[in-house]
Amino acid sequence: MPTDPSDPEGAIAAAAKRCSNWGRWGGDDVLGTLNFLDEAKRREGAALVRRGASFSLAQRFDANGPQKGERRRTNPLHMMLATGLEAERGTQGFPHGIGGADDTVSMPLQASTQWDGLGHIFDHGIAYNGRRAGDVVTSEGDQVTGIETTAGLIAGRGVLLDVGRVLGDDGELPDGFAITADHLEATITAHGETARVGHGDLLLVRTGRLTRARREGWGDYAGGDSPGLSFTTADWLHRTEIAGIATDTWGFEVRPNEFDNAFQPLHQVVIPHMGLFLGEMWDLDALAADCARDGVYEFWLTAEPLPVTGAVGAPVAPVAVK
């Protein structure tokens, strides 16, 4: 719990000061905490492939997703340009009996399983590394920290902290549950040595919120109440020097937020000040079940965002391999 719930702005400013990475990798840096993820970490990650079992961590992208259209965030719309019906009917105009189907998608880049880019959130009009927000993200996209700048980088050692399974009932944390640094450490302790978290790791935190949405329907999964990281974890996220963190929730942070009147205050610290990459709406359930089974919480993780030029967020189809 933050010390003074009536003063999010003061708490944010203080945490931002403690956790800032501005200038840490130079004034031109666009990668933030991905700088922690180096080749040694990739070697370490690849060495974790023991069985060859792989796990998709992506939700399906379709019209049955969680979005409700708020702030024009709709669900992905998949539309066909040609179908098997025309092919069967033989009206496509191609020679020698070939036929084809073709399709399109329209979607908010943060409609489903996704990475937040560093241009997604600003603090008082300032973006990561101290740049003016309006110099970074215009109607033509993120001119500086567009998601395409991360191309090829997000592959390394992944660690799952299944906080839902360790601290929740039946594997799920309730809405409003604020995961603190103590909760994270307790989960590491419960999981054992393979769950240690440190420099350059890609951390996955499972709350069970998606599990519940799957069982009960989306409801307010997108934007509503949820378990999630406490605002107070900012220092822990900074100190551990992780390269990125992803959760199975819509918004990474606990909701309602832990201040009287606030909207995603932890984002305001970790994106523009730390340059931390946040993943949201990841599907961690199959991986978590496997980790619970074999007691191994580390794995090789590839989570390359779709490199839409200038994107401030991007869909991703992450794959964990153990």
Q: Which residues contact 112 (CB under 8 A, 6 or more apart)?
A: 58, 59, 60, 61, 65, 66, 75, 76, 281, 315
Give least dist CB 263 to its own copies, A: 5
Q: Output 168 or 310, the one with its CB closest to its own copies.
A: 310
Q: Output 117 or 168, the one with its CB closest to its own copies.
A: 117
Q: Output 16 or 166, the one with its CB closest to its own copies.
A: 16
**Rounded to a whole number, what is the distance in angstroms from the first to the last CA of the chain?**
36
Give the DSSP per-residue string, 169-213: BTTBPPTT-EE-HHHHHHHHHHH-GGG---TT-EEEE--SHHHHH
Q: Which of 51, 182, 189, 214 binds its own copies (CB under 8 A)?
A: 51
Q: Which listed range, 20-28, 187-195, 205-213, 261-269, lies at the site for its own copies (CB under 8 A)?
A: 261-269
Q: Using the rule CB under 8 A, is 190 a contact of its own copies?
A: no
Query: How far apart, in whole angstroms, are the C-alpha atoms of residue 194 and residue 76?
Result: 36
Query: How far apart, in whole angstroms, are the C-alpha atoms of residue 156 and residue 303?
Result: 9
Q: Which of 24, 46, 193, 219 binds its own copies (CB under 8 A)?
A: 46
Q: 97-116: which residues touch its own copies (CB under 8 A)? A: 97-110
Q: 59-78: which residues touch its own copies (CB under 8 A)? A: 59-64, 69, 71-78
Q: Which of 3, 27, 28, 96 binds its own copies (CB under 8 A)?
A: 96
Q: Which of 22, 115, 122, 282 binds its own copies (CB under 8 A)?
A: 122
Q: 274-313: which residues touch its own copies (CB under 8 A)? A: 300, 302, 304-313
Give backbone dihedrals phi and psi of 276, rounded to 5 degrees, phi first.
Answer: -85, 135
Q: 209-238: which residues touch its own copies (CB under 8 A)? A: none
Query: How far apart, in whole angstroms, are the C-alpha atoms of residue 38 and residue 48?
Result: 16
Q: Which of 120, 191, 209, 238 binds its own copies (CB under 8 A)?
A: 120
- How many residues touch its own copies (CB under 8 A)? 116
The SS3 assignment for 286 reads: helix
- The one-letter code for the residue type at 138 is T
Give least dist CB 190 to its own copies, A: 26
Q: Which of 84, 130, 192, 295 binds its own copies (CB under 8 A)?
A: 84
Strand partners, 301: 156, 320
| Distance set, CA 250 to CA 31, 173, 219 (Å) | 23, 14, 12
Q: Which of 26, 27, 139, 169 binds its own copies (CB under 8 A)?
A: 139
Closest CA to 210 of 164, 263, 258, 266: 164
